[in-house]
Chain A
Amino acid sequence: MKKSTGDNFFPKAMSFSAGLDLLKRAGYDGVELWLGDRPWFRMQTTDAELRLLARQVRDAGLEVSDVANALDWQENISARDPAKRDAAVRHIERQIEAAQIFGTDAILIVAGLVTEETPYNEVYKRTLEALHKLAEVAAKARVKIGVENCNSEQRFLLSPREFATFLDEVKSPWAGIHLDVGNIHDTGFAEQWIEIHGQRITRIHMKDTLKHRGRCGQQSVYTNIFLGDNNWPAIREAIRKVNYDGWLIAEMESRYQYAADQQVYDTAAALTRFISGTF
């Protein structure tokens, strides 16, 4: 397995190249690039500029593990507003194009947002319809769409079996799950999600969760790997069981009050320890 983390985890005000150097020094193998988060990767960023980013990643001795986006929370394929829906399709298609330029085979999206105003059934149908079309685009580009399980924040596809049924209905080998082991909170067990989804897992997001904080209260439920309630030995065993040998991507909230780069190092060390399977 290989280690990665997002460019949105670079300490504030750090440049792209300095961030890449930091990841390399800390022992990561790759970087997850977030469309719409940092200034170097926006919807307006041209193909030529993307190729330049790709070269910088290579020159730093890293790979791009996958392409995520920070835009789905404002522009989702399940939105009632057609303009937002179109925008969502456009930025996902842009992720696919960027993935090809970066030489990676997976993207991350948050598909479907249930709110008080936009009800579950509507979101389900609209999301499914959009994914049918996007999966065709992904198939042509040979890039997998990893639908992330942001269960609590999305209020959508809340159980692993429902998620599996949803993917069955999408019915494309180019759509799978980008499994976040921290996002399950107190509603289940990450290792069971891994077991159920097996070969459909495109990438794994790594973080820990504080279950006693419930789902989405005032305080964040997320914390550094090994500090929370995830059963890491069980998660490690489940990964072994399903023969997942791909990227482990730390998705951390920046928490260090001082020496922010130290969290990047500590997270890399935690990933290394996790991969070793010694607890």
Chain B
Amino acid sequence: MPTRREFLTGLALAPFVVRLAAARSAAARNVEIWQEDHCLSLESAMGFGHLVSRNSPATSFASDRTASSSLIIAPGIRWMSLSIAVDLADRIHQGAWVILESGLGFSPRAESKHQIDLFKKVFGLQLLPPVKVGKNPAAATYVEYTRPVHRLVRTFEAITPVRCDQSEALARWGKHSVCIRKRIGDGTFVFLGSMLGPGIWAEEREAIEIASALVTSDSEGIFKSSRISGREAKATRKELGLL
């Protein structure tokens, strides 16, 4: 029986499905943007929405999820229920390319702690407590992306650091890794610990370039990193009582 919170969150995560008739990658790709019910996620979703539709001559929105979607973007995520997280993990295992943008820096501490635990269990990600960038004079102004292209992009108020192998890191903020890319099953999970969508929405050149590169990166293309095997994933699901 889902809790009230999970039920509401399930409703809030109503996806926009963008069907791209012609994506820039070799194969046509369906895109879903999962949006939470708060302005942060909305703003970011609009940024990613513009991005994925800008090169497509025929873009339409539908209200249902598409099983064959190969790219899922979850912008400004602050709260994900266990069932939704597992659903997302399943989709990745089946081959989806997921870009999840953390909005945890804007959540109460207790909630962010819960989410950190969830990310560890479901996705095997070791997130650290969010850091407020604010007006800390010692803090770096920019997140430095090293892959897929080298660019500096402004931080967005708060960042969620993540522990990872160097081979998985996409970006750093000071000494912290903040964005990583991880192979899970047949798919790919990109975690953005610093919000990128609002920068796209605000037409920040570098944010657009980074996001474009991420969105159009083929899962077997420019990245190489470790994979979580199907067996490991199955064990995790068993541990969570989902099998």
Q: A residues near B, CB below 8 A?
A: 191, 195, 198, 233-234, 237-238, 240-241
Contacts and interface: CB of A to CB of B under 8 A. Distances in A.
A267 B180 CA distance: 43
B232 to A, nearest CB: 39
A237 B205 contact: no
A234 B138 CA distance: 11
A240 B152 contact: yes
A195 to B, nearest CB: 8
A191 B152 CA distance: 13
Interface string B132-174: 0000010011100000000110100000000000000000000
Contact of A198 (B140, B142, B154, B205): B205
B145 to A, nearest CB: 11
Contacts of B90: none
Secondary structure type dominating chain A contacts = helix
Contacts of B37: none
Nearest to B154: A195
A241 B206 contact: yes
Q: 5 closest A-B pairs (Cβ-Cβ)?
A: A241-B152, A237-B141, A234-B141, A241-B142, A237-B142
Contacts of B205: 198
A237 B206 contact: no
Nearest to A161: B203
* Chain B interface, >50% SS class: mixed
Contacts of B141: 191, 234, 237-238
Contacts of B140: 237
A233 B154 CA distance: 14
A191 B141 CA distance: 10
A240 B152 CA distance: 8
A215 B152 CA distance: 31
Contacts of A238: 141
9 contacts: A191-B141, A195-B154, A233-B137, A237-B140, A237-B141, A237-B152, A238-B141, A241-B152, A241-B206
A164 to B, nearest CB: 10
Nearest to B150: A243
Given A195-B204, A198-B205, 13 more contacts: A191-B141, A195-B154, A233-B137, A234-B141, A237-B141, A237-B142, A237-B152, A238-B141, A240-B152, A241-B142, A241-B151, A241-B152, A241-B206
Contacts of A233: 137
B135 to A, nearest CB: 11
Nearest to A241: B152
Nearest to B153: A241
A238 B141 CA distance: 9
A241 B140 CA distance: 12
Nearest to A238: B141
A160 to B, nearest CB: 13
Contacts of B137: 233
Nearest to B151: A241
A200 to B, nearest CB: 11
Nearest to A234: B141
Contacts of B204: 195
A198 B152 CA distance: 12
A195 B206 CA distance: 9
Which residue of A191, A198, A241 has the most chain B CB atoms within 10 A of its CB atom?
A241
A237 B151 CA distance: 12
Contacts of A237: 140-142, 152
Nearest to A191: B141
B231 to A, nearest CB: 43
A47 B137 CA distance: 51
A116 to B, nearest CB: 35
